[in-house]
Structure formats: C-alpha cells, structure tokens
Amino acid sequence: MGVASNGGTERIAFLAARTEEARTAKRQLEELYGVVPRDQADYIVVLGGDGMMLQSLHTFMNTGKPLYGMNRGSVGFLMNDYASSDLRERLRASVVTEVHPLILTATDMNGVVHQAKAINEVALLRQIYQAAKLRVTVDDRVRLEELICDGIIVATPAGSTAYNLSAHGPILPINAPLLALTPISPFRPRRWRGAILPNRAKVDIEILEPEKRPVSAVADHTEIRRVKNVSIREDAEQKSLILFDHDHSWDERILNEQFDH
C-alpha cells in the first residue's frame, strides 16, 4: 500500500541525527526540496540510523504522518538507501507499514507502577553479577516456572532485527501478527531458545528473589530499575507509519539477512 500523492507538491520535513553526516545531508536536501514545518509536512524524512528512526517513530506516533528513513548512520535496517535525487518520486512509490507499540506495565520494589511504550522491544536485564530468576506466564498460563538467565526480550517485528537478533532470536516479517520471546544467555533451562507468540498474547513476568537478584525493565529508551513484576502486550490502537522503498522492502531485507553468510 502506498501513500497518497499530492501531484508533485508533497511537503517534506527533514529530521537529522546529531552526526555531521546527517546534518550535512539535511542541509543539502532542504536546499533541494525546501524547509517545511513538521506539522505542515506530508512526509517526514529521517536522516541517521535506526536509533534516530526509533526515536522519530515514538515522536510521531498517532499523528498519521509517514516516516521515510535514509541511512546516514551506522545501522540502517529501518532505513532506505540515501540519495538526494528523485526524492518525491521515491516517496510516492514507497510502501507504508503500520507499526504498533508494546505497552510495558511494571511494578517496582516500592510498589510504584510504571508504564512505557516500546516499538522495538521490552527487555528484562539482570542488574548485578547474579543471574535473573524469572517466572514466565503467557495469557494467564505459566509456561516457565523458573527461567535463570541474563534476561529476556519481547520483540515486535520491527525490533526483531535489533537486540532480539543479537540474542539469536527469530527475524519476523514486518506485517506478521507475531512477537518474539527470546531469552538472553539462558542457564536453566539451558536448551530453551525462546518462542514465537501471536501479537495478541499478554506476557507476564514475575521476578523471583528480586532483592537478591534485581532486574531492570527496558522499553526502547526507557529503563525502570528493580522491578518485581511486569506485564507486556501490544497496543493495536496506537500506531506509527514507516515507509520502505518498493524495490527494497522489509521482506527482501529479511531474506538477505537470513541467507547472508
């Protein structure tokens, strides 16, 4: 599905990461296509790497503004290749995908309830030298009575190529109604490699021995320390829009990643 065209008069706002490479690209593109306030733009073009795109997806969530990334950073799985020419044509031909966030609800050791959104993943991480000890429940059924590990990740399709992939989790197609549940350095059960869940699933994780084995919960860039239990679910009512070139789609990137050796 493409984005509606304004007949060649699309208004484009440019966002750049703090790197010199991204800022230089922004200046060059604004000379070619003009300077447009974000709230008046038909498209938001994001210059940088995946971190900049992730930040922008949070910023423009629920605004209806499509984000088109061009790689001017060190990592660019969420980005398209950079080129200054024919940008309006590329935008018109691009394919739009809806990205829905995970909602993390976490209760800390003081009984305070925190909530945060994650477009990539929610990760639970041990805070000290001792491994975390977790009980994992999916849709109100205990699936792992005791998981001893460095942590665990719940990843969206957009986040499946990030931390999840580094932890040997599966890559998910961007439109797949799935979540990846991936352990980080599991000690017991040692052979458990994770699970693929429907995106409607609710994941509840209880931290066992939380005083002795403190755990942090991280939703993208938000960290909540010393949690005692968390609940994670996808919120289908909230969404961000991301654009990919029609000839270099997310599905093609997934295939390249899986067959790259």
Q: Could you tell me the CATH number of the domain that includes residue 135?
A: 2.60.200.30
In terms of domains, do 79 and 167 share one?
no
In terms of domains, do 111 and 226 share one?
yes
In terms of domains, do 201 and 157 share one?
yes
Query: Which CATH number is 251's domain given?
Result: 3.40.50.10330
In terms of domains, do 183 and 94 share one?
no
Decide: helix, strand or coil at residue 50: helix
Q: What is the mean pLDDT of the chain?
A: 93
In terms of domains, do 133 and 222 share one?
yes
Contacts of 200 (CB under 8 A, 6+ apart): 177, 234
Question: Is 164 labeled as ligand-binding?
Answer: yes
DSSP assignment of 72-121, as one string?
-SS--TTSBPP-STTHHHHHHH-EEEEE--EEEEEEETTS-EEEEEESSE
The residue annotated as part of the active site, out of 50, 108, 204, 220, is 50
Q: Tell me whether residue 251 is one of the annotated catalytic residues.
A: no
In terms of domains, do 60 and 94 share one?
yes
Question: Is 162 labeled as ligand-binding?
Answer: yes
How does residue 186 score in pLDDT terms, banded at 50, 70 and 90?
very high
Q: What percent of the chain has pLDDT over 90?
A: 86
Domain-embedded: residue 28:
yes
In terms of domains, do 221 and 137 share one?
yes
Contacts of 165 (CB under 8 A, 6+ apart): 171, 257
In terms of domains, do 123 and 166 share one?
yes
Question: Is 83 labeled as ligand-binding?
Answer: no
In terms of domains, do 157 and 55 share one?
no
111, with CB counted inside 10 A (0-12, 13-18, 19+), is exposed
How does residue 1 score in pLDDT terms, banded at 50, 70 and 90?
very low
pLDDT, tens digit, for every residue of 193-249?
999 999 999 999 999 999 999 999 999 999 999 999 999 999 999 999 999 998 776
Question: Is 169 labeled as ligand-binding?
Answer: no
In terms of domains, do 227 and 132 share one?
yes
Structural domain span for residue 156: 102-234
Q: How many domains does the chain have?
A: 2
- For the chain, the residue count is 261
Answer yes or no: are the C-beta atoms of 155 and 174 closer than 8 Å: no
In terms of domains, do 41 and 90 share one?
yes
More confident site: 5 or 69? 69
pLDDT, tens digit, for every residue of 72-117?
987 678 999 999 999 999 999 999 999 999 999 999 999 999 999 9
Question: Is 71 labeled as ligand-binding?
Answer: no
